[in-house]
Every structure is written in structure tokens, then in C-alpha cells.
Amino acid sequence: MPRRSLPFALSIACALAAAGLPARAETPTRARHAARATAPAADCFDARRMREAFQSDARTLAIRLDDESRWRVALRQDCPGMLRSPHPRLTGPQGWICGAGGDARLESGDRQCAIAAVERIDARDYAGLALNADRAPSATRAPDELDTIQVRATRRRGFQASHSYCLDARYMRGWHDDGNDLIVEVSPVRNGGNRYYRVELGSPCAESARMSEMHLESRIGGHVICGNAGDRARFSHDDSPGPLLRSDAEQWRIPSAGCIVSRVYPILPE
């Protein structure tokens, strides 16, 4: 069980995927230099830089780019299951996906869904949308061909979920509470380049302030913690504080009931 640790300077490695080539590590500076021309408006993103997409409901997409920016895309009409349909595509003038006044669409076969709004969101909101998509029968998609901005389903292996809204508890290094939530340090190599995650708890959790050790428990089994129903943080002491009265000793041995985990997301550098 990881013991408490103090946070260190946040760090993250950006991994960029190039069309037709294996993903390779890039620094944020190189990623910026690789960007195309300035976006035509603040509510626009370059679909050619898309790394991950979720459909959280019939009218909402969540998009993550290779620079780790996150976006909410609102469709004008209900278009359920678009990311599970054959050969879905995000299209827009010169590849720009913009909100009001733009001409961007989500397409699949003869289905076309106009985009009504595009909004940059933070890691917390993105994790919520991704978790909703995971609870629903929606697929995760990754970029395919650069020219057509086509997206395709990816087969999940190993980790079984996206590092953008889940962490792998096998590689926890330490933790502390900040008064409301847990700040968990993990191996960035095993968690998509993310070193720190915020683990939100479903209600006030006094145990986190009193105990010295913590482990994360997945209700569905395995080591992936996303905030699914039944995910918990359980706490304990590494040893007894000294001589105890009989009643105190019995309480000491009572297993922690744990605290509900409601949401998980990486702490990104500003």
C-alpha cells in the first residue's frame, strides 16, 4: 500500500501519433511547432491532431488532442452511436472543427450530424464525459488517416481504459489528501505520461486524514480505477501506535469501510 507522500513538481510526457507511423515522444515545444496555422477562432481545433474521442450521449462528443487539450463538441441533433458506426469522420474546412457559424460535421456513411458548438474543457470535465461514454455502449476512437480525418475503433488491451479518466493502481507511488480529494502519484511510464491524478471522493472522508496507508479497489476487479460504481479508496495504518486498550485494539483491526471514488483525472501542467 502506498504511504503518504508530498507532491513534487508536476511533469508530463507528451506522446504524439503521426499518421501511418508509430507514436513517438515529443516535447510540448516541438508539439507547438508541429501545429498548423493559427486556428480561425477560439472555438476551433485541428481534427488532424485528434488522439482520442468519446461519445458521452446522443449529442455530445469529448475530444482529446495531441497537445493534451480537451474539447466538448455539441451536435445539432441526436446522433446516437455515431462512433460505433462504420468509418465515422469529423470533417471541416481545411480540417478545422469550429462551433457556431462553422461548417463542421460528424459523418458516417449517409448519416451527417452538424456540429453546433465547440468548447475547450478541463481534465475534470473531460473525465466525466469519458466515464459517461464508458458506462454507455459507446466506443472509444482514435485517429486513422490524416487526410480524411477518419477515426476508427481501437482494440483495448492491457490497461483496458483511457489514462485520461482512469489510473492503473498497480503503479501507485504515494498519496496525500488536500482536504477534499486524494492526490495520487503514479508511475508516468505506466499511466500515459501522467505523474499525478486527482481522485475525487463521493462524500467527505475522515479516514483519509487519520490513516497512513491507502489502496484503491475496483468494484469490477483488476487494477483500473475510473470512478465506476463501487470503486473505493480503503485506508489503514501500517502499524499500531503503541499500547492500546482492548476496545481500541479491536477497532484497530476493523477493516476500513473505504470511501467512494467518484471521478479520476490527471493533473496536467498549466
Residue 227 pLDDT exceeds 80: yes
Residue 180 pLDDT exceeds 90: no
Hey, what amino acid is at 23?
A
Residue 8 has a pLDDT of 25
Question: Most confidently modeled of 9-23, 155-169, 256-270?
Answer: 256-270
Cβ proximity of 96 and 44 under 8 Å: yes
Mean pLDDT of 105-129: 95
Please, what is the average pLDDT of the chain?
77
Residue 120 has a pLDDT of 97
- Stronger pLDDT, 64 or 139, i.e. the higher one: 64
Cβ proximity of 139 and 83 under 8 Å: yes
Main-chain dihedrals φ then ψ at residue 135, nearest 5 degrees? -75, -30
The DSSP-derived string for 146-196 is TTTTBEEE----TT-S-TTT-EEGGGEEEEEE-SSSEEEEE-GGGTTTB-E
B/e letters for 169-186, b = 16+ CB within 10 Å, e = fewer, are: beebebbebeeebbbbbb
pLDDT, tens digit, for every residue of 78-113?
Answer: 999 999 888 899 999 999 999 887 799 999 888 999
Look up the pTM and report it: 0.75
Residue 140 has a pLDDT of 52
- Which of these, 127, 153, 129, lies nearest to 142 by C-alpha position? 153
- Stronger pLDDT, 36 or 180, i.e. the higher one: 180
Give residue 75's pLDDT band: very low, low, confident or very high (50, 70, 90): very high
Give residue 243's pLDDT band: very low, low, confident or very high (50, 70, 90): very low
The rounded percent of the chain whose pLDDT value lies above 90 is: 52
Cβ proximity of 207 and 218 under 8 Å: no
CA angle (167 as vertex; 129, 22 as ends), nearest 5: 85
Three cell numbers written together for 178: 488536500
Strand partners, 177: 182
- Which of these, 155, 140, 159, lies nearest to 64 by C-alpha position? 140
Residue 122 pLDDT exceeds 80: yes
Give residue 222's pLDDT band: very low, low, confident or very high (50, 70, 90): confident
Strand partners, 213: 3, 236
Mean pLDDT of 220-233: 90
Residue 149 pLDDT exceeds 70: no
